[in-house]
Amino acid sequence: MSDAVTLQGVSKVFGDVYAVRDLDLAIGDGEFFSLLGPSGCGKTTTLRMIAGFEFPTQGSLRLHGVEMALQPPNQRPVNTVFQSYALFPHMTVEENVGFGLRMKKVAGAEIVERVRRALDMVQLTHRATASSKQLSGGQQQRVALARALVNEPEVLLLDEPLGALDLKLRQAMQTELKDLQERVGITFIYVTHDQEEALTMSDRIGVMNEGRLLQVGTPQDIYEQPTSRFVAGFIGEINLLPATIVDHESVRLAGGRLVAATTGAAAGSEVTVAVRPERLSLFGLGETVPARLNAVRGRIVRRVYFGDVFYYDVDTPDGVIEVKEENRPGVALHEIGEEAVVAWDPAATTVVES
C-alpha cells in the first residue's frame, strides 16, 4: 500500500529565504504524524504545501501516489483544521460543517445526514443552528474539526489546533483528538510547537528547525535517542556536556572524567554528551555508587521544590548538571552545599554533535 503523503526533495523559497529545504518524508496511511519545531522552523509552510496554499519551489508531493504539488487546494483530498479555526462568521454551525459537501455537490439529504453525524461525533448537535460567532473557543474548535472530517478526507491537516485553548481544555482535547483519530482511521498531520502535545498524541514525530527536517521517529526515539544537539535540547529538559571522543565506548568530559557512552564519530572529535535530568541519581559521599554507572562528583548549588519532584543543580568540573529526583519515600533528600555524586546508566547517555 502506498503512503498517504510522500514528500521528495521539497523546498520552499520565499524571496531568498529557504522556509523549507530538501524535505524528504513519507507518512503512512492512518498514521498520527506530528511536525514539531519552534516558530519559523518551516513546519507550517510544510503543512500549507500539503494543503495546497503554497506550492513547493521544487520537489515532489504525492498523496496516495498521485502527484499533487501544483494542484489547487480545492482539488486535493485533504482538509485542514486551522489554528484560528477560520469558521465562516456569516454561517451557522451546520452551514459551516456542510460547506465542503455543498461544494462537492453531494445530494441534499446526504448532506443533512452527514452533517448530523459529524456534529454528533463532536457532541455539538444541540448547537447546530447557532451562529458560529456565538460559540466558545472549545466549541469553535470542535466545529472546525467536524467541518473538516465530514468530508472524509484522505489526510487531515491540523495547524496548532489547540493553541488558542486554555490548559485544561487543551489537555482534554488532546485525548479526544487522539481517540477520534483512532476511531476514524484517517491520517492526521499535526503541526505544533508544543512537545508535550507531540509526544502524547503522535505515532511518529518529525522535528524541524530552520527549514530542515532533523529527525523522524516515534516519540520514544525522539526523546530517548536524539540524533542532534537541537533535537536533544528542544524536547524536554536535558544536560548538554561538552566532551571528546576517546573510543567506541567512552568519551572524556571537559573536566577530565571518562564516561561510558556509545559513540559514532572518530576518536578525538569534539562532541556533546546529552543526559536527561530524570535519568540521573544523586548519591551522598558515604554511599556506594554501582561501578557500572557513569559518575561525576560535585557540589549541590541549588535545590528547587516542584511538589512531585526536586530539581538539584550540581556544580561539577564538567559543568553544572541538573538532576531531577522524585519526591517519594526512599529517595534521600540532599541539602545545598553538600558534596554529592551524580550517577547515571551508560545506556541513558546520548552523544550528539558539539
Per CB under 8 A, residues contacting other proteins are: 51-53, 72-75, 78-80, 82, 84, 86-90, 99-100, 103-104, 147-148, 151
CB of 150 to other proteins, least distance (A): 10
CB-count burial class (<10 Å; 0-12, 13-18, 19+) for 277: buried
Residue 64 or 252: the one with the smaller Cβ distance to other proteins is 64
The DSSP result for 263-315, as a single string, is --S-TT-EEEEEE-GGG-EEEETTSPPPTTSEEEEEEEEEEEE-SSEEEEEEE
Give the number of other Cβ atoms within 10 Å of residue 70's Cβ.
9
- Cα separations (Å) of 264 from 8, 51, 57, 230, 279? 28, 39, 35, 18, 22
Shorter beta-carbon distance to other proteins: residue 97 or 314: 97
For the CB of residue 89, give the shortest distance to other proteins in the complex, in Å.
7
User: CB 142 → other proteins: shortest distance, Å?
Assistant: 15
Helices (DSSP H) in 123-166: which residue ranges?
137-149
Rounded Cα gap, residues 49 and 57, in angstroms: 10
CB nearer other proteins, residue 134 or residue 262? 134
| Residue 78 or 186 having the CB closest to other proteins | 78
> Which CB, 148 or 243, lies closer to other proteins?
148
Instruction: Specify whether the CB–CB gap between 271 and 251 falls below 8 A.
Output: yes
Least separation in angstroms between CB 86 and other proteins: 4
- Residue 72: CB minimum distance to other proteins, A: 7
